[in-house]
Amino acid sequence: MNSKLRIIGGVAAGMSAAAKARRVNPELDIKVFTDDPYISYSS
């Protein structure tokens, strides 16, 4: 069974947390919830 991570907020801190969690555990089920139509990202 995969672990789950739910993040509230799609701005810089939330997306940074999601990216770090993905690096630590690639199998993690990550969902980000935000009320803004755009999320923060960097190329």
What is the pLDDT at residue 24?
96
Q: What is the pTM of this model?
A: 0.78
Over residues 1-43, the pLDDT tens digits come to 679 999 999 888 899 999 999 999 999 999 999 998 887 776 5
- The SS3 assignment for 22 reads helix
What is the pLDDT at residue 41?
72
Q: Where are the domains of the chain?
A: 1-43
What is the pLDDT at residue 43?
56
- The SS3 assignment for 3 reads coil
Q: Tell me the two tokens of residue 8.
A: 């509230």
Distance (Å, whole) CA 2 – CA 37: 28
What is the pLDDT at residue 40?
76
What is the pLDDT at residue 2?
77
